[in-house]
Structure 1
Amino acid sequence: MPEQAIILEWAGFAIRWLHVITAMAWIGSSFYFIALDLGLRRAPDLPPGAHGEEWQVHGGGFYHIRKYLVAPSQMPEHLTWFKWESYSTWLSGAALLALVYWAGAELYLLAPDSPLGLWQGIAVSGGSLAIGWLIYDRLCKSGMAERPTLLMLLLFVLLTAMGWAYTQVFTGRAMMLHLGAFTATIMTANVFFIIMPNQRIVVADLQAGREADAKYGRIAKLRSTHNNYLTLPVIFLMLSNHYPLAFATEWNWVIAALVFLMGVTIRHFFNSMHARQGRPWWTWGLTALIFAVIVWLSALSPEAAQEATLTPAQTRLTEAPGFDAVQEIVAIRCSMCHAAEPLWPGLAHAPGNVILESPADIARHARPLYLQAGLSHAMPPANLTWMEPAERQALVAWYRAAAR
């Protein structure tokens, strides 16, 4: 129903807003504590068990922070835990994934030539997210933790392979998003299954008067460091749906793999700086080189547009009263940009990879047309093609007639 489309759009906005807010909180605290940990200094007056301290100034006041490598001698009266930022980010992201890619699976999830059916695609979408964590966790517990560079290399191979696998069944846009969710699941699982349980063991030892084992802190620190290097690529993947040059190309999975490498080079610079080990400016040159390769790959060849069999609901849209008029409106007002070869100056690909050249194209994008060009004036941008109010009303009438 038309009302359902409006409700879903606002629900998506609310969940997306929540997801961004919680992600900002998680990423901010993660970056802060990594920088704090790397910047700790030894001081002659440190209490027993303290590893280092840091003086900081912010908001008009001074802060004196000390870190205990294992734990203080007794349990402090007040202890702040950092966990809900991670959990809330993952839960809101999972809700957004379900709303956009499961409820809108026909439009956004499956590639036109995907061997999967609708429900199979949804099952793969949800079930595949846990695979990365299971493999990664097994690697960490296999003794590979003593060889962190090799472990990170194997994780990179896993992420690259998963990106390629997603392209075999999902659209380019869905591949990028799912690879981001796949990686974010590893990060949140690190917090939920490793970092927090290990910290609870240390707290329990303190409360019982036992000496805490340092190994739990080392394990948690390793997983936290991995999360630090994965954060920037996840941000890119979550925003990639705005950039067809990234997802709507034949080499989108390679672009995603290169983004992970850029995440490593960028974080290496800041981690080295915070650890007072100098500023390795070469990392920015390498980052620029990787980015140049991404730009080159994006221009090689666009993702081929393929016709897919319309669902019964989409067929009703092409047969609904007013469709002929809508097709003419779209051809005049929209298709100069939303085409396989856009005519608008400066456009190499259709915005959002949305192509509106055939009746099937219009049917598959009926809801966005209704919401963005019918009910609202979001499209065309700044009304550059002079869409008339009567034409917007025609889009709304057509969509509602098909829904009825």
Structure 2
Amino acid sequence: MVMVFWEWLDMAVRWLHVIAGIAWIGSSFYFIALDLSLRKREGLPEGAGGEAWQVHGGGFYNMVKYMVAPARMPDQLTWFKWEAYTTWLSGVALLVLVYYLQAELYMIDAAVMALAPWTAVAISVGGLALGWVVYDLLCKSPLGRNDTVLALVGFVFLVAISYGFTLVFSGRGVYMQMGALIGTMMVANVFVIIIPNQRKVVADLIAGKQPDPKLGAQAKQRSLHNNYLTLPVIFVMISNHYPLAFASKWNWLILAIVLVMGALIRHFFNTKHKGGKEPWWTWGAAALGLTAIVWLSAQPATPVEEAKVPQGYEMAEVENVVLSRCSMCHAAEPLWEGITVAPKGVLLETPAQIRAHARAIEMQVVRSHAMPPGNITEIEAEERQLLAAWLAAGAPAW
């Protein structure tokens, strides 16, 4: 009963995380599009930078943006913050439930670095805090005066820290950590910069003072960063289902390409919303990036040509590898503590079941090293090579 409770708690928190993420991303995309579509005209209220007319749900909307603030405080004001906070809080809950409480399974790979679970968790938490501090300092430094230069430096920072994490965590752990870091940076932008700056503007209005224009400019810069980071962080969120991304030896480079692809796609839509000439070249560049990712992930982690397998090996030897390294989880009655049903319903207890899942074995064990998670069962390189040779031969039953 306890395990059933934890399973449904995981599901409930994950569902909340997705719902909150949709609300946050949706509002972020909407307001960026609105901001870029504003047009100036004569007769706008004092302090207004532009307006936009929109139609939706059978009605027309007239949206007016004040570059700093209106002349007086409105009677009703909607704050957009809880979507971001709920996304982060539910994400942290998932981080604890799935990764921190099962660090030895999902974060640690002894072949990368033999860590105690508490050490891995400490490094993860410290990495999140340090990542935000470095990013915030970059934004507040002289680099922050030039958005392009700041973006390039920020990109190099994210790529460098992702590579650094590959020297500490498992592939799955690296992507989890980067997703958590980018998400933390985005939410901290809201919590530390955007909302406090807006509160200062509101306080000045109530006090009858002229708000500082720099507050709005700073908040807009962080909001733009969040906009360009949204697509990459969504990729990281779903990458857990794609071992060719997170478990590839080039996972850090794949993530770097995804960061560029996400920025290019957002640039297209931002330019389109602004009313400029659509930069269709961004889609071509994104397609090239995807092609590069496919090529990188096609380089198998266990090359078949290097396979050192005994002459005349049979299905029984393949079966022995799978039974000894995989079937403690992928069984009708899993033996691994905390796992009550075989992951994704995949059973690997008989030769027929093993052959039926040959493609999954190739993706998870040969082309990537996603399985066993963190190499928890200590599968050896020669055993992976044996599976690679068997698969290359067409997964015969003999």
1:172 is aligned to 171
Tell whether the 8 Å contact from 1:40 to 1:52 is kept in structure 2 after alignment: yes
Displacement of 1:359 in angstroms is 11
Tell whether the 8 Å contact from 1:108 to 1:171 is kept in structure 2 after alignment: yes
Tell whether the 8 Å contact from 1:177 to 1:240 is kept in structure 2 after alignment: no
Correspondence for 1:360 among 377, 382, 392: 377
Tell whether the 8 Å contact from 2:348 to 2:354 is kept in structure 1 after alignment: no
| Cα separation, partners in 2 of 1:27 and 1:212, compared to 1, 3 Å | same
| Cα distance in 2 for residues equivalent to 1:118 and 1:317 | 21
Q: With structure 2 as the length reference, what TM-score do the two structures score?
A: 0.80
Tell whether the 8 Å contact from 2:132 to 2:184 is kept in structure 1 after alignment: yes
| Cα distance in 1 for residues equivalent to 2:208 and 2:369 | 59
Correspondence for 1:19 among 17, 29, 33: 17
1:74 is aligned to 72
- AA aligned to 1:145 is G
Displacement of 1:317 in angstroms is 4.3
Matching of residues 171-190 of structure 1 within 5 Å: 171-190=170-189
| Cα separation, partners in 2 of 1:21 and 1:120, compared to 1, 3 Å | same
Displacement of 1:346 in angstroms is 10
Tell whether the 8 Å contact from 1:22 to 1:85 is kept in structure 2 after alignment: yes
1:281 is aligned to 280
**Structure 2 counterpart SS, 1:52:** strand
| Cα separation, partners in 2 of 1:329 and 1:44, compared to 1, 3 Å | closer
Q: With structure 1 as the length reference, what TM-score do the two structures score?
A: 0.79
Tell whether the 8 Å contact from 2:109 to 2:376 is kept in structure 1 after alignment: no
- AA aligned to 1:166 is F
| Cα separation, partners in 2 of 1:337 and 1:149, compared to 1, 3 Å | farther
| Cα separation, partners in 2 of 1:303 and 1:133, compared to 1, 3 Å | farther
Matching of residues 5-404 of structure 1 within 5 Å: 5-113=3-111, 114-302=113-301, 317=335, 330-332=349-351, 334-336=353-355, 343-344=358-359, 348-349=363-364, 353-355=370-372, 360=377
| Cα distance in 2 for residues equivalent to 1:217 and 1:68 | 10
Displacement of 1:337 in angstroms is 6.1
Displacement of 1:133 in angstroms is 1.1
Tell whether the 8 Å contact from 1:337 to 1:347 is kept in structure 2 after alignment: no
| Cα distance in 2 for residues equivalent to 1:346 and 1:269 | 38
Kindly, what percent of the aligned residue pairs are identical?
Answer: 53
- Give deviations 1:321-357, integer Å, cap 9, x for gaps: xxxxxxx96243543366xxxx34995445993359x
- Give deviations 1:57-90, integer Å, cap 9, x for gaps: 0011111110000100000000000001111100
Q: How many residues align?
A: 341
- Give deviations 1:347-402, integer Å, cap 9, x for gaps: 5445993359x99379xxxxxxxxxxxxxxxxxxxxxxxxxxxxxxxxxxxxxxxx
- AA aligned to 1:354 is M
What do you get for the CA RMSD once the two structures are aligned?
2.9
| Cα separation, partners in 2 of 1:47 and 1:337, compared to 1, 3 Å | same
Displacement of 1:237 in angstroms is 0.4
| Cα distance in 2 for residues equivalent to 1:8 and 1:248 | 26
Displacement of 1:127 in angstroms is 2.1
> Does 230-239 or 118-127 show the bigger shift?
118-127
Displacement of 1:302 in angstroms is 2.2
| Cα distance in 2 for residues equivalent to 1:318 and 1:265 | 43
- Give deviations 1:82-130, integer Å, cap 9, x for gaps: 0011111000000000000011112111013223211101111222111
**Structure 1 counterpart SS, 2:355:** coil
> Does 186-195 or 119-128 show the bigger shift?
119-128
In structure 2, the gaps of 5 or more residues are: 304-320, 338-346, 380-398
> Does 147-156 or 20-29 show the bigger shift?
147-156
Tell whether the 8 Å contact from 1:318 to 1:359 is kept in structure 2 after alignment: no
- Give deviations 1:33-62, integer Å, cap 9, x for gaps: 000000000111201111000110001111
